[in-house]
Amino acid sequence: MTLSSFDLIVVGGGPGGYVAAIRAAQLGMKTALVEKAQLGGVCLNWGCIPTKALLRSADVLRMVKHAAAFGVRTAAPSADLPAMVARSRAVAAQLNKGVAHLMKKNGVTVFDGHARLAGHGRLNIAGPNGEVTRLSCANILLATGARARHLSMFPVDGETVWTYREALAPPLVPKRMLIVGAGAIGVEFASFYHAIGVAVTLVEMAERILPAEDADISAQVATSLGGEGIVMHTASGIRRAQHTASGWEIELQGDQSASTTLEADVVLVAAGIVGNVEDLGLKHTTVKVENTHIVTDSFGRTGEPGVYAIGDVAGPPWLAHKASHEGVICVEQIAGLRPHALDPARIPACTYSHPQVASVGLTEAQARTRRHQVKVGKFPLVGNGKAIAMGATAGLVKVVFDAGSGELLGAHMVGEEVTEMIQGYAIARTLETTEADLMAAILPHPTISEAMHEAVLAAYGRALHI
């Protein structure tokens, strides 16, 4: 055994953990990071980044298939899934090496192994070869993330039942896929697998797909996905599931008395996540866990002095950029810098489906529930010159303002590359920009972002192009 002392030990090297470690090092703390798998965590290695690489391949395939509409002649394109997966893995590997470089550059000591709290500021790390390293520290930051929720009726076998991990490196290309859960993960994989020729069916218990998004946005996405041939069953639960010689037979039960029977070669479970709280030594502490997530205050503090938690293990929203910002705020609070607490209403969310979805702030329904008198503006991309030129008119921009103060309460977008545009509204909310400020802004022409300006104008009866 060895014994080392640090100012801060971060457990988990995902986007929350490694960013927190970098910020701590910048502030002069002697910092260690413990990771039992791969630096970058699930997001970089098996989530955010590799899925976007696959979705980019799907976008290229769609573009080539429709090349004739743009006056470009091509041979009939086809999907090479092994090559797509290989590129996706290469992208993840490149970024994984980048995180390792950042740790070295910032002087963060990295330990390979599984960390367990031992009480009184002590931490034991079980290494890959059975060796144990003992560390002591006044501040321990848990950033252990989360994993896919499993459903008892669909035991994951890597062959006919997948989670996102199997979907990123599939053993085969199924003919028929049933995706359980139509949130961001389910809709993204539906877009990818449908693009490469798989018959995809989405099942969602909520009344609509992407239930966390504004209702108008969900409806637009449903129209687009349905138009492409993706089958969707909403307000539907799974009544019965049977594994047969040819795959799966699933009986759905909706809110009506009638049931529907479906068949699939592969079931992809995208029904949420659970926090990685097991075997962390929390029994040695007063850390409280609820619904598999560690309970914290707005600065990441737990019920145990000197123990903090951020990111997915600390609860929703389960977003990488939220984890990163939480990490910075938590570390700065430890250092005594008195940062502002993270405001969840200012965290943008993105779904990289086809079409893309992006939002920040309150939906129209949420704003009305909170008794705001609202002004709502909508602008369809069919009225945007750049979108027409790109052949990407399926989409809209929607904004919700407080009628009295002019505060931008929420912004919601669906369409081509809206995930790159939502930052404009995110910055506006952070700066507490009003409708007058947004109206006075001059946006470049021709760009799809002009629709953002037009939606603001539309909220006040001043839209110019509809």
- Would you call 243 a catalytic residue per the annotation? no
Token pair recorded at residue 107 = 């002087």
Within 10 Å of residue 283's Cβ, how many Cβ atoms? Answer: 9
Cis geometry, peptide bond prior to residue 317 (ω within 30 degrees of 0): yes
- Residues paired with residue 151 on neighbouring β-strands, in sequence order: 154
The secondary element (H helix, E strand) that includes residue 180 is strand 176-180
- What's at 120, amino acid-wise? H
Residue 405 tokens, joined: 């103060």
Contact 195, 58 (CB under 8 A): yes
CB 268 within 8 A of CB 177: yes
Is residue 112 within 8 Å of 126, Cβ to Cβ? no
**DSSP category for residue 110:** E
Q: Are 398 and 411 in contact (CB under 8 A)?
A: yes
Q: Which two tokens stand for residue 139?
A: 């501040």
CB hemisphere CA count around 205 (13 angstroms): 8
Task: Scan for tokens 């502030």, then name that residue.
Answer: 27
Catalytic residue among 66, 101, 445, 465: 445
Q: Which residue numbers are catalytic?
A: 445
